[in-house]
Amino acid sequence: MTISELLDSVQLPDSSTPRLDLEVLLGFVLNKPRVHLYTWPEKNVTPEDESLFLKLVEKRRCGEPIAYLVGEKEFWSLNLGVDSSTLIPRPDTETVVELVLQLVSDQRVTPAKILDLGTGTGAIALALSSEFPDAEVWGVDKSASAISLAIDNGAKTGIERCHFLVSDWFANINTTDFDIIVSNPPYIAQNDPHLKQADIRFEPLSALVSGDDGLTDIRHIVSESPAYLAENGWLLLEHGYDQSFEVKSMLIDAGFKSLNTVKDFAGLPRVSYGCLRRLTSIT
């Protein structure tokens, strides 16, 4: 069967991007970029490759995420390895990286030390390290498997000044005076029905769920961060679309100033932040 015939012979009715999913899977099986499929649609696919492709299609049909099936996901133009021990990096999380760049540009002070809490694949930490090559960037996660993957991603991307450490939030961090602390922590309530839907069913609950209201980990991070931030240090937190009021209230109670919330690519409130001293807020 040719590439074109094989792609046309299968369907993914429950996917929002069925053709893209099929092309990514076939490109992965053939070890070729997607452009190869367009350039050589008449090329024959070996029976072995066809069999593997159809097995992956069936897994995708059952809802398993493309990123887990092919073992990689792009984030901030970095091709990162992923596996089922970590949350899959999402485009909306790039909002955190963009906000850090905006804050640094507005304050005209290059950060010397950055901490990424709950780093997972290392996506945010590696993205920030790529943007601030002279900064000391740390990514921590309580999952040893996640940290192993993040270290591999650091080597894969050639980003050498990014350090990774197994730590349950701040538990094993022995340094302070971070200019910026960022986190995409778990923020879904444990009884949220979305946990049983779509791709999210396959991701680790420990990276998704945070207590009855989804805010347990954020409360901990906000309360502990002041002890680890430098003078005029910033804390940036990704959260659920309906949690910005609660998160900003926590920041106020912890003594943060210059509070703001920015929206993600879908126009939903996604990242709230504050400074430990009063600075001009981004508008």
Give me the residue spans of the domains in the chain: 3-62, 83-276
- Considering only residues 13 and 66, tell me which one the structure prediction assigns the higher pLDDT: 66
Judge contact between 144 and 174, C-beta under 8 A: no
- 13: tokens are 């009715």
CA distance 143 to 86: 9
Residue type at 157 in one-letter notation: T
Alpha-carbon distance values, 239 to 2, 185, 200, 203 (Å): 45, 8, 16, 17
Q: Which CATH code for domain 3-62?
A: 1.10.8
Alpha-carbon distance values, 86 to 8, 195, 238 (Å): 33, 15, 16
Q: How confident is the model at residue 161 (pLDDT cuts 50, 70, 90)?
A: confident
pLDDT mean over 55-72: 94
CA distance 244 to 251: 10
Each residue's pLDDT tens digit, 19-44: 999 999 999 999 999 999 999 999 99
Each residue's pLDDT tens digit, 230-265: 989 999 999 999 999 999 999 999 999 999 999 998
CA distance 75 to 161: 18
CA distance 248 to 210: 18
Does the pTM exceed 0.85?
Answer: yes
Alpha-carbon distance values, 27 to 30, 36, 38, 52 (Å): 5, 8, 11, 12
pLDDT at 282: 47
Characterise 76 by phi-psi region: left (phi > 0), alpha (psi -120 to 50), beta (else). left
**Backbone dihedral angles phi then psi of residue 276, each to the nearest 5 degrees:** -75, -15
pLDDT mean over 84-100: 93
Locate tokens 């940290």: which residue?
A: 147
Same topology between domain 3-62 and domain 83-276: no
pLDDT at 256: 95
Q: Which CATH code for domain 83-276?
A: 3.40.50.150
Q: How confident is the model at residue 144 (pLDDT cuts 50, 70, 90)?
A: very high
Residues 6+ apart with CB under 8 A from 48: none
